Structure 1
Amino acid sequence: MLLESLSPLSGMINLVLVLLSVLTSAFTAAVGVGGGVLMIMALAQVMPAAALIPVHGMVQLGSNVGRTAMTWRHVNRAMLAAFLPGVVLGALAAAWLLVRLPAGVLELSIAAFVLFTCWGPGLPKRALGRGGILIVGAVTTLLSSLVGASGPVVAAFIKQSQEGRLAKVATFSACMLLQHLSKAFVFGVAGFVFRDWLPLMLVMVAAGFVGTWLGLRLLHWLPEHRFDNLFKWALTLLALRLVWLGGQRLAGAG
């Protein structure tokens, strides 16, 4: 059966993941953030741990290629140019370092940053300059390759630096495209065999294009203030989920 041949998983699970790719891509295109985290939560339930982050990264790469292509006119190219060197530095560090923070600390640190950018006084202007963007690019690329949890941090940073819903979605998508592209290098160096999962990844990427198209139609329909509220609350809910996960892991490690 065609569905059975897509990956080592069962045909029914492959079908669910393809449909989920449509849903999560549409969600990110319409709301600005969240689809990647929903996707990695679902993949974690059914996929071997060794395949989780590289497969998620390649599917998200395809999804962000679609979003970037459809919104390219709205990408902040200056920010993208500043973000790229950080991505390169973070990918090189991830390829050679095995960083392991105490269980729960990473999740709580990310949650604190996201909640501060959503509800705090705002980042200082210096942090939004080229140096700040480079540091965010490097740190979040390293986090993304190690734990797959960088999207909310990048989105929270872009929320402070970009005006307008299309600029936020377009610039976030372009930055995440670079970040997920770096995972092909990181996990290739680590010896991950993408071939076993390639058919499923390609079908999920194609499904993601459909979801992105649907989500962007909704984005154009959303009023600016409604988008800003949805974006802020989506980030806040993702951060609270990280607080819950981080607290559980700290309690378990204690």
Structure 2
Amino acid sequence: MLEVILGFITFFTSTITAIVGLGGGMMLIAIMPSFLPINAVIPIHGLTQLSSNISRAFFGYKDIQYEVVPKFLIGSLLGVGLFASIVSLISLEYVPLFMGAYILLSLWSSKFNDKIKKFENYYLIGFFQSGLSIVVGATGPLAMTLLLKDYKDKNKVVVTAAAIMCITHILKLIVFMYFGFVFFDYIGVIIAMVVGAIAGSWIGTKLRDKVDGKKFTMILKVILTLLALKIIIGTII
């Protein structure tokens, strides 16, 4: 029964992400602690999201903007290497607060964007998104915020985000396997969630074409804003 419930929840969240590019992953990671031990949430979420992102990138491979991938990969390798080595040594309690603030300012403050433009790039986004994913779980809004600035076509934004998120989740899973997490202990749940994720990606890809470009941008900005506020409030409370 647990497998069926989590499979359907993953299908729903994966469909949402395939339509607008994000949101589903953060919904899923917020729901999973009600069903799974807390130590299993981030690694299983990472594996599920990897299947969701791979399938979403596969279904829309023609829209991937490959020029950003090597930059993001280099930043990700450095970020995961650093954060994996220091995660047990420092407190990362307030990191999500800065993440949320960056997303909000980047979306709505032209002055902030003018000042940060010379520092904002895919090397840096990869470094923080992949590095922080080890402890925060769902860091996709970081890359999505930059992609939304660089590309106006909704398919390019969603599918490129999926491609680079694959890098984040692969590196994260390697770290969890290195630290001894046994995925096979949850094989039934994982299979159900992976099937749900792939099915959701397929349905969401079909539905994305029905969303108007301007509406898509506004919907995405609203979702990013709500997620950023959730991150900030969750850190403070």
Q: Is this contact kept in 1: 2:4–2:192, CA < 8 A?
A: no
- How far is 1:49 from its partner? 1.6
Whether 1:90 aligns to 2:59 is no
Residue 101 of structure 1 is matched in structure 2 by: 91
Deviations 1:120-154 (A, max 9, x none): 113654345xxx21111011111101121311112
- How far is 1:199 from its partner? 2.8
Q: Is this contact kept in 2: 1:117–1:156, CA < 8 A?
A: yes
Residue 7 of structure 2 is matched in structure 1 by: 18
Residue 118 of structure 2 is matched in structure 1 by: 126
* TM-score under structure 1 length normalisation: 0.87
Q: Is this contact kept in 1: 2:13–2:27, CA < 8 A?
A: yes
- How far is 1:97 from its partner? 2.0
Residue 179 of structure 1 is matched in structure 2 by: 168
* TM-score under structure 2 length normalisation: 0.93
User: What is the CA–CA distance in structure 1 between the aligned matches of 2:82 and 2:176, rounded to whole Å?
Assistant: 12
Residue 4 of structure 1 is matched in structure 2 by: none
Residue 225 of structure 2 is matched in structure 1 by: 236
Residue 116 of structure 1 is matched in structure 2 by: 105
Q: Partner letter of residue 173 of structure 2?
A: A
Q: Is this contact kept in 2: 1:18–1:203, CA < 8 A?
A: yes
User: What is the CA–CA distance in structure 1 between the aligned matches of 2:50 and 2:117, rounded to whole Å?
Assistant: 30
Q: Partner letter of residue 70 of structure 2?
A: A
Q: Is this contact kept in 2: 1:91–1:138, CA < 8 A?
A: yes
> Structure 2: which 5+ residue stretches go unaligned?
none
Residue 3 of structure 1 is matched in structure 2 by: none
Residue 80 of structure 1 is matched in structure 2 by: 69
Residue 36 of structure 1 is matched in structure 2 by: 25
- How far is 1:102 from its partner? 5.7
- How far is 1:192 from its partner? 0.7
> Structure 1: which 5+ residue stretches go unaligned?
1-10, 249-254
Match of 1:204 among 188, 193, 200: 193
User: What is the CA–CA distance in structure 2 between the aligned matches of 1:25 and 1:191, rounded to whole Å?
Assistant: 27
Q: Is this contact kept in 2: 1:40–1:52, CA < 8 A?
A: yes
User: What is the CA–CA distance in structure 2 between the aligned matches of 1:162 and 1:82, rounded to whole Å?
Assistant: 16
Quote the sequence identity (%).
29
User: What is the CA–CA distance in structure 2 between the aligned matches of 1:102 and 1:81, rounded to whole Å?
Assistant: 27
Residue 159 of structure 2 is matched in structure 1 by: 170
User: What is the CA–CA distance in structure 2 between the aligned matches of 1:147 and 1:198, rounded to whole Å?
Assistant: 23
User: What is the CA–CA distance in structure 2 between the aligned matches of 1:219 and 1:78, rounded to whole Å?
Assistant: 23
Q: Partner letter of residue 131 of structure 2?
A: L
- How far is 1:91 from its partner? 2.1
| Count of residue pairs brought into register by the alignment | 233
- How far is 1:207 from its partner? 1.3
Q: Is this contact kept in 1: 2:96–2:136, CA < 8 A?
A: no
User: What is the CA–CA distance in structure 1 between the aligned matches of 2:140 and 2:59, rounded to whole Å?
Assistant: 20
User: What is the CA–CA distance in structure 1 between the aligned matches of 2:118 and 2:194, rounded to whole Å?
Assistant: 37
Q: Is this contact kept in 2: 1:87–1:178, CA < 8 A?
A: yes
Residue 49 of structure 2 is matched in structure 1 by: 60
User: What is the CA–CA distance in structure 2 between the aligned matches of 1:101 and 1:110, rounded to whole Å?
Assistant: 15
The RMSD of aligned alpha carbons is 1.5
**Pair 125,111 (structure 1): closer, same or farther in 2 beyond 3 Å:** closer
Whether 1:153 aligns to 2:142 is yes
Match of 1:195 among 164, 169, 184: 184
User: What is the CA–CA distance in structure 2 between the aligned matches of 1:79 and 1:126, rounded to whole Å?
Assistant: 16
User: What is the CA–CA distance in structure 1 between the aligned matches of 2:151 and 2:92, rounded to whole Å?
Assistant: 33
Q: Is this contact kept in 1: 2:6–2:192, CA < 8 A?
A: no
Residue 6 of structure 1 is matched in structure 2 by: none
User: What is the CA–CA distance in structure 1 between the aligned matches of 2:91 and 2:160, rounded to whole Å?
Assistant: 30
